[in-house]
């Protein structure tokens, strides 16, 4: 549709481009995939990224097609965040994503784990299962590049573009936490969360 000055004005139903976030770690592909999925409950930041907040006890990633990603509340209830569509360890996982929203508004998140040459300049984990597979710090190593693509924003309705902007920061924070990095984003959001909890008392 053309505007008054002859320019092209985008329709309100125009596709919203996928949100892409990448990061790189020094762990082998298998370790990176395993940490993101099977160890999901150990690293996911439920204090800042959950439906229940303080009411949430843990988060679960069921590693199979049809498995759910969900949080479990202290009272035993749960809230489903998404459903696994593709399970291809250790290369790729795809799932729907709709925390606190109906399933019909779900976007899709694809995460690819790609072997990459890197140097182990990133934090090493105390977790012995990962530390045992982390190469030494004295030269080139085979690490993993992680590519996260969040798409199908149109399903989210009128607030889709605003939601996409929020997830731009949100996924960056989540990947930094997963990688064990105390970046400015992580420190700032943790500090804000702590202040909010103090004022709510």
pLDDT for the residue numbered 98: 97
pLDDT for the residue numbered 184: 58
* Cα dihedral sign, 96-116-30-73: negative
State the distance between the two ends of the chain, measured CA to CA, in whole angstroms.
52
Q: How far is CA 41 from CA 57, 72, 144, 167, in A?
A: 10, 10, 21, 20
Q: How far is CA 27 from CA 88, 142, 144, 163, 181, in A?
A: 18, 7, 6, 31, 14
pLDDT for the residue numbered 185: 66
The whole-number mean pLDDT for each consecutive block of 10 residues of the chain, a chain of 201 residues, reads: 38 79 96 97 94 95 98 97 98 97 97 83 47 51 91 93 95 95 68 52 49
Pinpoint the alpha helices (H) of 86-137.
128-131
Q: How far is CA 150 from CA 1, 6, 122, 171, 189, in A?
A: 28, 33, 25, 9, 21
Ramachandran sector of residue 168 (left: φ over 0; alpha: ψ -120 to 50; beta: rest): alpha
Domains of the chain in sequence order = 19-200 (3.30.530.20)
pLDDT for the residue numbered 182: 76
Closest CA to 173 of 162, 182, 165: 182
pLDDT for the residue numbered 194: 54
Peptide bond into 191 cis (omega under 30): no
CB 114 within 8 A of CB 148: no
Closest CA to 106 of 60, 151, 139, 47: 151
Distance CA 187, CA 169 (A): 13
């Amino acid at each position: 549709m053309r505007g008054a000055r002859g320019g092209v004005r985008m329709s309100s139903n125009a596709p919203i481009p996928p949100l892409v976030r990448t990061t790189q770690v020094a762990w082998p592909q298998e370790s990176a995939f395993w940490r993101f999925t099977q160890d999901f409950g150990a690293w996911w930041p439920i204090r800042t990224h959950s439906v229940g907040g303080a009411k949430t006890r843990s988060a679960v990633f069921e590693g199979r097609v049809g498995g759910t990603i969900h949080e479990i509340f202290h009272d035993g209830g749960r809230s489903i965040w998404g459903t696994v569509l593709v399970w291809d360890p250790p290369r790729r996982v795809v799932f729907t994503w709709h925390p606190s929203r109906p399933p019909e508004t779900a976007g899709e998140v694809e995460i690819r784990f790609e072997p990459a040459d890197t140097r182990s300049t990133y934090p090493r984990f105390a977790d012995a299962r990962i530390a045992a597979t982390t190469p030494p710090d004295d030269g080139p190593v085979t690490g993993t590049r992680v590519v996260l693509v969040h798409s199908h924003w149109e399903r989210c309705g009128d607030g889709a573009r605003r939601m996409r902007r929020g997830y731009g920061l949100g996924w960056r924070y989540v990947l930094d936490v997963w990688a064990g990095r105390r970046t400015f984003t992580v420190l700032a959001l943790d500090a804000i969360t702590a202040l909010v909890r103090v004022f709510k008392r």
